[in-house]
Structure 1
Amino acid sequence: MKTLQREYFFLIVRIRLNQIKSSIKKAVIDLNLFKHYPSNDRQIRYQRYATRLYLILIVISVGSLSVYHLIRKRIQRKTILNPSLSKYLELSQINSIDLYCPCTSISTSYSTLISIEVHYHQLCSSYLVSSRWIAYSNSISRILGDLYDYRNHAGNQFQTLSMFCEQAQQIMNNSLSIFLKTNLFSLQVIRKNQLKSQLDSAIEDWKSSKINQFISTIDLIRNTTQGNQLMNRLNIFFQFPDDVRTILEPRIYGDCNCAFFASLCSTPMEIFAYSYILLIENFYVGCYLIDALLLSTLECFYNKI
């Protein structure tokens, strides 16, 4: 009798479990989180597919976050008072991302971090811009000679070169002292590569601004001279047609007229000695002194004979 009761009990339990299993299976199959009315059978089927995909993604996301939380490293914060440079470098190699080292002073001048030595073009230290050479070049001037003669223009060309060198040195000397007094601000110690990058960027910006300042000064002189068609004592832009008339006419260098292409008109200088003419290559004279000078290379003073 007890055996029959036990079997009957297990049968009832098995039936109940099967019913629960069927109910759960049906509930899972029929689960629809995106249902809306009215919907046809096809729409309901796709809504159930979307529900299953949604639940799978939620399970994967929760599982991933749980695994990450379990395996991630525990960060321990430790304070070291007044660390040495070697200690800081050692710690930065271990964990540079989370390392925080506040500064006792939030600003420091560039002069304490870097030193800058300015190098000028070799021309600015050559004899060509020396006072003795300029004086000599002026002493051989032949104003009444041929217009293209080297001796008529050399002194003025070298004087202009000397002026450019002095201007460049003055600009750099004044701006360098100001630049080195500029402060670098930071609340914490900056990593070496980051500090180098910031300083390199600041230096390049400073160099670029000074170069532009120098070029702008020269362009201002050129534009003022050309825009007003100013004359000079060498009379290289205008000419008198003859000794009787006083009408001023633009000079012509080759096929180039100073009235139309003043900044482009130029011709190589020459040295006239009776019937002999010596052409000086790549050392020009033109409508304007500065434009002709910028076209010149001065290679004739460096070439070995």
Structure 2
Amino acid sequence: MHTLKTFFLNLNFFQSSNPSNQSDEHEHRSNIIATRIYIIIYDISLFTLILSLWLSPNIGQVTVQYPTQNQFQTLSLDAQCPCSRISLSYGQFVSIQTRFHQVCSSDFVSNRWIKAIFYDSDATYFYRADFRTIGSAQFRALASLCDLTKTSISRSLASFNMKSIISPYVLSRSVIQSEAQTSIE
């Protein structure tokens, strides 16, 4: 035990730069102190590294096949999808309901109404201010605008439903809503 204590008291990692055996006592003592400081710093660094690795969260891989809504909402934001398919079309999870102005679904744009206004009538017999002279053309124009709007929106919805959202990570509801809103706009 005594030799071990003597060994540690005289432990010196930094040998004297003077090759002769007549080294300066002050330099020898400074080298021993530097060795002790080195060992203390080394031990503190090693202890800190071990402690940080021990306290760090364990990272494990868990695969959830077909998660429920509650399981999905509890997943962390850095969760990854191990699937080969990392994209979904918006049409698979977004539903858009359109509402048109009530005029476009009324009888005023129907062929029956347009024909009733000006069916087999000669416009030359009507008074100039009579609505029947231009009414049929106005309701046809209105019907055409409604049809054009419905066709345009139908095509836009089909195009939107085919667009995909691509991410290898789990996305929060707010991110998905933001992405869908941006794509809609």
* In 2: Cα distance, 1:147 partner to 1:117 partner: 44
Q: Which residues in structure 2 correspond to 1:1-305 (within 5 Å)?
A: 74-82=56-64, 84-85=67-68, 86-92=70-76, 96=77, 99-104=78-83, 105-139=85-119, 142-143=123-124, 145-203=126-184, 205=185
Correspondence for 2:45 = none
Deviation for aligned residue 1:178: 2.2
* In 1: Cα distance, 2:182 partner to 2:122 partner: 48
* In 2: Cα distance, 1:75 partner to 1:118 partner: 48
Deviation for aligned residue 1:168: 1.0
Residue identity matched to 1:168: T
CA deviation vs aligned residue, 1:38-61 (integer Å, no higher than 9, x gap): xxxxxxxxxxxxxxxxxxxxxxxx
Structure with greater strand percent: 1
Deviation for aligned residue 1:137: 1.3
Q: Note if contact 1:103-1:188 (Cα within 8 Å) is conserved in structure 2.
A: no
* In 1: Cα distance, 2:72 partner to 2:110 partner: 53
Residue identity matched to 1:142: A
Deviation for aligned residue 1:186: 0.9
* In 2: Cα distance, 1:88 partner to 1:164 partner: 44
Deviation for aligned residue 1:146: 4.2
- Name the SS for the 1:184 alignment partner: strand
Residue identity matched to 1:167: L
Residue identity matched to 2:64: N
TM-score, with structure 1 as normaliser: 0.38
Deviation for aligned residue 1:90: 2.5
* In 1: Cα distance, 2:122 partner to 2:163 partner: 48
TM-score, with structure 2 as normaliser: 0.60
Residues 176 and 88 from structure 1, CA distance in 2 versus in 1: closer, same or farther, beyond 3 angstroms?
closer
Residues 152 and 141 from structure 1, CA distance in 2 versus in 1: closer, same or farther, beyond 3 angstroms?
farther
- RMSD over aligned CA atoms reads 2.6
Residues 91 and 145 from structure 1, CA distance in 2 versus in 1: closer, same or farther, beyond 3 angstroms?
closer
- Name the SS for the 2:118 alignment partner: helix
* In 1: Cα distance, 2:143 partner to 2:57 partner: 65
Long gaps (5+) in structure 1: 1-65, 206-305
* In 2: Cα distance, 1:170 partner to 1:133 partner: 22
Residue identity matched to 1:186: S
The one of the two structures with greater contact order (alpha-carbon pairs below 8 A, sep at least 6) is 2
* In 1: Cα distance, 2:114 partner to 2:93 partner: 41
Residues 199 and 159 from structure 1, CA distance in 2 versus in 1: closer, same or farther, beyond 3 angstroms?
same
Deviation for aligned residue 1:148: 3.2
Correspondence for 1:228 = none
- Name the SS for the 2:124 alignment partner: coil
* In 2: Cα distance, 1:91 partner to 1:153 partner: 64
- Name the SS for the 2:165 alignment partner: strand
Q: Note if contact 2:81-2:170 (Cα within 8 Å) is conserved in structure 1.
A: yes
